[in-house]
Structure 1
Amino acid sequence: MTETSQPRGRGQKSGRSPLGRGSSAGLIVCFAFKPQESEDGMSITLYAQPYDITATGFYFSAVEEFDGKAAKLVNDFGEQVEEFEIQFIDGDQIDCELAKAIDLNQANFKDYLTCAQNWEYWEKTNVIIAVGECGYEFDPQASPDRYWIDVYHVGSMRELAEQFVEDGLYGDIPESLQYYIDYDAIARDLAIDYSAVSVAGEYLIYRAS
């Protein structure tokens, strides 16, 4: 579970955002927990914070819920509220980091909820790296594997070097010579084309083709 705040009780009204008035989607903080690949995942809770300081925001977990609550929301002067900052409140850490990577906002939160519900864990990881680290645009209609990103679940660049040697990427090396391999030198060479990143609490190495 990942929480970006300690939200108030769902039945309580507050004129303040759970994250504070000065917050923004770009400041989403995803606390690190042991990564898990849950089949069902947690329900995502978002908060719609009106930019109108005389209106009170609301929690929601589905597009229909947002549409219904937003349609009824008025400010202290009875005027319809139309513009909101969308904040990630609760859910799996991988979904929190996806929200952060795509800069969750009113224009993309509907696509975000659809993708978070339908994508596999590895697909979310790919998009987090592609958009958050490599500068690609978030395209909810495109397949997450279109970015041609190779992801390796290893603990260090040296470990990746050892894996590549074991997999035969450097040719068939006789066992008698493997003790003389300078894995640290290979790791330094790999670092030219490969980068490290932490996603949902897991250390990963990736290469963008």
Structure 2
Amino acid sequence: MFVRAYLRASTKEQDATRAKAALERFAKDNGLTIASTYIENESGAKDWASRPELRRLLDDCKAGDILLVEQVDRLSRLNADDWEALKAEIRDRKVKVVALDLPTSHQFTKVNGDDTTARIFDSINSMMLDMLAAMARKDYEDRKRRQEEGIAKAKAAGRYKGRPENTERNERIMRMFREGKTWSQIEKDTGASKSTLSRLKKKSEEGKD
């Protein structure tokens, strides 16, 4: 059994490694060693296949491995359908999710020879995991709604100016396009969204002789 730690933050401005010490302390307290750590800055609302480090973690997993996270919302803020797809992927790979904020999952760190007890805990944990994932999604949708309401109110009052352009980053992206770098290279190096890359690629082409 390998323990694979997953650390996620939504943006590059946030520290995705913030919870690393807590995960290492939990592993030590439970007699485990973290075999590898996967760190990324991606929205938890993106499906798992669009999160390269989560995808790499699952690809690396063998049956019986543990996917260790600080909180369930680090793994998922997905809608119901996408959450079911991620759960199916985890289930098919026979991976156990252990979250520090989900005590019922901690039993997966112990070897238990009682099949009946293990199945009962597995059922309880699955239910609790679904509940926390649903709460994480609701929190995401509530924050998004409040943000949209705030923007609409600011626009109505003539106060909304939008997000300031990151001119230094955008110039770098256009330069990378002109140098022939691939979309995936630029996206990985800069963290810019595909819509931003599309806009800047067009702009970079307009600047050619």
Q: Structure 1-normalised TM-score? A: 0.26
> Would you tell me which structure has more helix in proportion to its own residues?
2
Q: Structure 2-normalised TM-score? A: 0.26
Larger radius of gyration: 1
Q: Which structure's relative contact order is higher, taking Cα pairs within 8 Å and 6+ residues apart?
A: 1
